[in-house]
Amino acid sequence: MGSNASGDDFDFDWDTEDELEISEIPFCGSNLPNPTCGDVSCNGEGSSSAHSSNSKLIQDFVGMGFAEKLVVKAIEENGEGSAESKILETLLTYSVLENSTEAENQCIESDHSSSDYLEGFLSDFSDVESWSVDEDKENADSLSEKEKNLRSLEKMGYSADLVKEAMNRCPDAPLAELTDFIFAAQLARADGAHLPAEIKPKVNYTCSGNGELKKRRLYAELYERKKHRGMLEEDGEMIRLPKPMVGFGLPTDDYSKIVRERTLPEQAMGPPFFYYENVALTPKGVWDTISRFLYDIPPEFVDSKYFCAAARKRGYIHNLPIHNRFPLLPYLPLTIHEAFPLTKRWWPSWDTRTNLNCLQTAIGSAKLQDRIRKAVENNDGEPPAHVQKYVLDECKKWNLLWVGRNKVAPLEPDEFELLLGFPRNHTRGGGISRTDRYKSLGNSFQVNTVAFHLSTLKPLYPDGINVLSLFSGIGGAEVALHRLGIPLKNVVSVEISEVNRNIVRCWWEQTNQKGNLIDFDDVQMLDANKLESLMGSIGGFDLVVGGSPCNNLAGSNRVSRDGLEGKESSLFYDYFRILDAVKSITHRGYV
C-alpha cells in the first residue's frame, strides 16, 4: 500500500490505474533531500584542491548522506577516475562499521523526511479496516511496551521471523525504529533474492537511531543491485507490456485490422484448450517464466477498463482461437458517472477521474474518509493544490466515490459485483461477511473480459463443455461460459477457500445448471491418478482454466513480493503440472 509521504523516498505512478508500483531509486543525489552540515559544506565547495576535479562526484555522494571525508577517502582508495559503482561499494563497506567514529559523525538532514515517510507508511495500515490499530484498545493498558510493539507489528502483517529478528536486534527500540528496521530488511531481501549468492552484498542493518542515513545507504545499495541485475539479464529478451493493453483487439475494433493468424507450438495446440490469467505488472522476468512453461506462448495483455469502469491490467496465456470473438451484451458502463450516475452531482471539478483504479481486496476506512472531509471543508471554495493532490491520491488508491457534499465513500460489495460483471448478490448472504466479499471479489476475474476471450468456444461446443477450473475463486470463468450460452456439462472446480466454494455452489443451484459440479479444495492434491480417474468418468476435459494466486506478484504487496518463488504464487507450477498431465492423459487416451 502506498503512503502520503512528503519525502522523496517513493513515488506512485497513478497513471497505471492498477497495482501500486515502487519507482526506481535514482542514483544521482539531486533528487534526494539536500543535507546540511556544520563544519563542511555539502555542495562540495569545502573539498581540498587535490580533489577539486571530483567535486561533482563528491557532491552526489554527500547528497546521499555519506560524510565528505569518507567520500574523499573512498575516491583515493579506488583512484581518481574510478567507476562510481566501485566508489559506492567502498562507501557501503565503510557504512556497515556502525561502531566506528567516522560512521557516528555522518552529516544528515534534519528535515524529518524520514519521520514523515514513516508516519504515512504506518497510517496506511491504520486505514485498512482489517488492520485497525484500535482493535484491542481495552487490553492495551495491561501490556508492557515490548508486548505492545510486538502486537502492533503482528497486526501490520509482518512475518513472525522478521518481527523476532527486529526485537532481538533492537530490544529497547520504539515502534517507529522497529518498523524502519523491518522495512529496510524487507527491501534488501526482496531485491537480493534475484541475485546469485556469490554477488549478494552483505550489509549489517542495525537500529542506531540514524534512520534517514541508513535508508539512503540502503537505497543506494538497492540501486546498484538493480543495475547489476539488469546486466545479468540483458542477454535475455524480456516481455514488454504493450500500450494500450488491448490484446488481440476489443469488441469495438474493426476485425479486418486485427492480426489474422498466430502460430502456436505443436505441443500447445488444443483440445484441450487452456486459459491462464495473472496480474500484468509482475516483478521482472515473471511473465517470461510463465510463458516458457506454457509452451512459449506470448501473453495477451488486456486492461479491463475497456470492458468496464475499472482498470484491471492482466496477462492471459491461452491456446484459444482468436477470430470471431464476441462480447457479452449489454455492454457494461465504461465511466464512473455512467456506472454510478448519482455521484455526478457531488463530483468536484478538480477530480478528473473517469475510471476507477484496480479493485483491491481492502477498502479505505471511515477514519480516512473523515480526514478527507475535513481537509476539503477547511478550505473555502476550491482547495489549494496540495490538498487536491492529497485527496486525489487517496481517492485513487482506495477507489473512493463522492457521495455527498465533501463526502467520499468506498465502493460497496454490490458495486464491486457490477464492475466485475457478476450477477447482483453473487457474493451476498449465506453467512459471508462483508470483509470476505471484498476479498473474494478483489481476487476474481473480470467476467466480461474473460467472456470475450472464451466466446470463440461457443460454436465448438454447442452441446456443452467439460471444464477443469483451477483456483476457481468465485467462479468467474463459469459465470462467463454460462452467460455466453455454453452449457456446462461437467465442472471440476478446485478452490482452497470454503467461502468461495460455497459462493460457486450457491450460484450453480440458483442458475439451475443441468450438469455436474465436482469440487476439491487443494490443487496440490490433484495428482495424475486422480486426474485420469476424473477424465475417465466424465469423458475428458475440453478446457483447463484458472489464475494462480497473485499474492507475491502484485505491485501493492511490499511485504512479500517474491515473484514465482513466493509461497502463494509458486502455485503457478501446479497449474502447469496439472495442465501438462491433462494433455498427456488426453493424448494417450483415458477411457
Angle between helices 572-588 and 286-293 (to 10 degrees): 10
- Of 42, 107, 358, 550, which is the active-site residue? 550
Q: Which helix (H) or strand (E) holds 543?
A: strand 543-546
The neighbour count for residue 452, using CB atoms within 10 Å, is: 24
One-letter identity of residue 239 = I
Distance, in Å, from the CA atom of 5 to the CA atom of 332, rounded to the nearest integer, reads 36
As given in the structure block, the three cell numbers for residue 141 are 493498558
Q: Residue holding cell 542514483?
A: 27
Phi and psi (nearest 5°) for 83?
A: -65, 145
Could you tell me what percentage of the chain is helix, strand and coil, using 3-state DSSP and rounding each to the nearest 5?
Answer: 45, 10, 45
The neighbour count for residue 575, using CB atoms within 10 Å, is: 24
Angle between helices 211-233 and 84-95 (to 10 degrees): 140
Q: Residue holding cell 577516475?
A: 81
* CA end-to-end span of the chain: 51
Strands 465-470 and 407-409, sheet pairing: unpaired
Beta-bridged to residue 468, according to DSSP, are: 492, 544
Distance, in Å, from the CA atom of 519 to the CA atom of 470, rounded to the nearest integer, reads 10
As given in the structure block, the three cell numbers for residue 102 are 567516522
Residue 402 gets the label, from left (phi > 0), alpha (psi -120 to 50) or beta, of: beta
User: SS3 string of 402-441?
Assistant: EEECCEEECCCHHHHHHHHCCCCCCCCCCCCCHHHHHHHH
How far, CA to CA in Å, does 139 sit from each of 128, 135, 147, 158, 585? 21, 9, 11, 21, 58
Q: Which helix (H) or strand (E) holds 346?
A: none
Residue 133's contacts (CB-CB under 8 Å, 6 or more residues apart) are 125, 126, 152, 155
Question: Computed over its alpha carbons, how large is the radius of gyration of the chain?
Answer: 27
Using alpha carbons, select from 157, 179, 127, 182 the residue that is nearest to residue 4: 127
Distance, in Å, from the CA atom of 299 to the CA atom of 239, rounded to the nearest integer, reads 9
550 in catalytic set: yes
Distance, in Å, from the CA atom of 360 to the CA atom of 196, rounded to the nearest integer, reads 34
One-letter identity of residue 22 = I
Distance, in Å, from the CA atom of 314 to the CA atom of 308, rounded to the nearest integer, reads 14
Active site residues: 550
